[in-house]
Amino acid sequence: MELNFRDRAMLWTGEGYDVETRTRVKAMLNGDLKELEDAFYKNLEFGTGGLRGIMGVGTNRMNKYTVGMATQGLANYVRKSFPNDSVLKVAVSYDSRNNSAEFAKITAGVFAENGFQVYLFDNLRPVPELSFAIRHLGCQVGVMITASHNPKEYNGYKAYWQDGAQLTAPHDKNVIEEVLKITDPSMVRFGECPSANIHSMGEEVDRAYLNSVLSLALSPESVARHKDLKIVYTPLHGSGVRLVPRALRQIGFEKIYSVPEQEISDGNFPTVESPNPEVPSALAMAVEVAERVGADLVMATDPDADRVGIAVRDAEGKINLLNGNQTASLLTYYLLTRWHEQGRLNADTYMVKTIVTTELMKAIADRFGIQMYDVLTGFKYIAQIVRENEGKRVFIGGGEESYGFNIGEFVRDKDAVMTCAMVAECAAWAADQGLTLYGLLQRIYDEFGLYKESLISLTKKGKDGLEQIAQMMVDLRNDPPKELAGSKVVKILDYNRPEETGLPKSNVLRFFAEDGSVVSVRPSGTEPKIKFYFGVKGADADVKLQALMEQFNK
C-alpha cells in the first residue's frame, strides 16, 4: 500500500539515515505539516532531464540520499547498456550552487564504488565543458550537478549519454525505470571520494575545449581590426567565470571588463534576485559597468553557463537588452552569411531550432536554402538531430528562445562559452560594416520583416501548483481559444498526439491564427511553471503582441 507523507517521514528517522537528517525530520514531524507534506508526499522524480528540486531532507528534495539513489539507478542502467565494455567511464562536473560540490562527490563516490573510472572536475565547470569532456575522454555517461537558472533554494542532477547529450528515448525512460527500482538508501553503494577510481581533471580538458571553441572562428580579421571592442561580462556568481573571459581573450579581444562582486562563486547569488540572464535585473550591475567604461556589449551567463543574455547599444547609444529569439536570429544570420561567403553552404548543411523559438530563424535559413529542423522544447532534441545526422550532414548551429545556442558538433548541449565568443565576433564583423549589433538586427528586420516574441511564465509552487497547471492544460484542450487577439484560430496542434505532429509525445499546445500569430503553451519540465509563448509578425507587431499577452494573462 502507498505510504502517506507521515509514514514516509517516519522512515527517515531510522538508523539508515545520518543524525542530522533524523533530527531535522523529527522536528518537521512536530512542526508545520504543510512543510512536511511537501517534503515527503512523493519521491523527487527522476525525469527525462534528471533530477531538479528544492534542497533539504525528504523524498521530494535534493539531498545526499536522493542523489545517491539516482546515481545507483543510473550506474545500473549504464552497466546493462554496455555489457561488452571492460572499462566504464563517467565524467562529473558541478556549478556554484550550494551543495553542488558535495553532491558531485557523492555522485563520484557511488560510481567509483560501482567499478566505474570517474573523471571529476577539480573545480566548478560549465555544462558545455562537461558535454565536451564525455566525448573527449570516451565516457559512456556524464553527470552535471546544477539547477541551471533556478532560484537559490534549488539544485539538480543532469544525466548525459556517451554522445555528450542529455538523455533521449529510449535511454531517458529506461534510466527512470532503473532509478525507480532503488527504493531505499540501503540499496546504494555509497563510496568514498577521493578513491583510486576517481581521477581529477582540469586544465588539460580546459585547453582542449577552448581550442575547439577557437576553431569555430569565422572572422578573425574583423576581430583583429576591432580588438579594442569594449565588452562587459559577468558569470552571475556561476561557472562561466573561468572560461568565458579566457575564450574572449584567446580569440583576440583585449578590453574585457568584469563585475567583481559577481565573479565570486556563491550559491546564494547575493547580488541578483535571480541568476537567470532572461531576467533584465540580472544584468543591471553589468550594465552599470558598461555605462561607466563606455562598453559596446554586455554579456551574462547563468550558473552552469549554458545560457547567455546580452545587451547592446542602439543608434542613440542607449543600452538595450536583447531576448533569446533576437540573439538566436543574429547568430543565425551571421553564421549563414559567413558560411555562404566562404562557400561552405550546401545541401548537407543544416540548422535546428525548437518549436517555440522565433520563425525568423527559419525565414533566414530559407533565404540561404538551408534546412531548419523544428524540434520539441529542450536542447536534447537539438542534440538528437545532430546525432542522427552525424557523419552524413553538417550541423552549423541551432538554438532556442530561452537564451541557449550551440555551434558545431563537439558540444551536444547549449553552450554560453562559445555563444559569448561568437556574439563578440559577430559584433566585430558588424563594426566592419559600420553597424552595432543593434543596427545589424534592424537590418535583419528590414530584410525579413519585423518579428516580435514574448513569454508569460506563471509560477505555481508545491503540490497544489502542479495540480493547477495540469488543470489549465485540460481546460485549454477542452475549450481552446477561437481567436488570437481578434484573428481567427485556423489550426491547433496538440503535441500529445505524435500522429499529428511527427514529433515525440509532449504536453504542448499550439494555436495558429489567420494573421500568422502563434501562441504555444507548455508546462515547464524543470520548474513549477506554465509558459505561454507568443509570436507575431508585421508592421503592427507590437500592438498584436500586447493584445495576445492581455488575452492569456488573466
- The two beta strands, 349-354 and 394-400, are parallel
- The two beta strands, 154-161 and 483-484, are unpaired
- The two beta strands, 154-161 and 51-54, are antiparallel
**Bond before 480 cis per omega within 30 degrees:** no
**Residue 70 burial by CB count (10 A; 0-12/13-18/19+): exposed, middle or buried?**
buried
DSSP of 452-506: EEEEEEEE--HHHHHHHHHHHHHHHHHS--SEETTEEEEEEEETT-HHHHSS---
Which among 138, 11, 132, 20 is positioned nearest to 414, based on CA atoms?
132
Per-residue cell: 483: 481567436
Q: Which of 96, 100, 148, 402 is catalytic?
A: 148
**Residue 475 burial by CB count (10 A; 0-12/13-18/19+): exposed, middle or buried?**
exposed
Exposure string over 511-547, b if 16+ CB within 10 A, otherwise e: bbbebbbbbbbbbbebbbbbbbbbbbbeeebeebbeb
Rounded Cα distance, 103 and 55, in Å: 11
Three-state DSSP state, 158: strand
Rounded Cα distance, 165 and 48, in Å: 12
Q: Does 148 qualify as catalytic in the annotation?
A: yes
Which among 124, 114, 31 is positioned nearest to 68, based on CA atoms?
114
State the maximum Cα–Cα separation within the chain, in Å, rounded to a whole number: 71
Rounded Cα distance, 128 and 47, in Å: 20
Residue 472 backbone class (left: φ over 0; alpha: ψ -120 to 50; beta: rest)? alpha
Q: Which residues contact 250 (CB under 8 A, 6 or more apart)?
A: 210, 214
Residues annotated catalytic, as ranges: 148
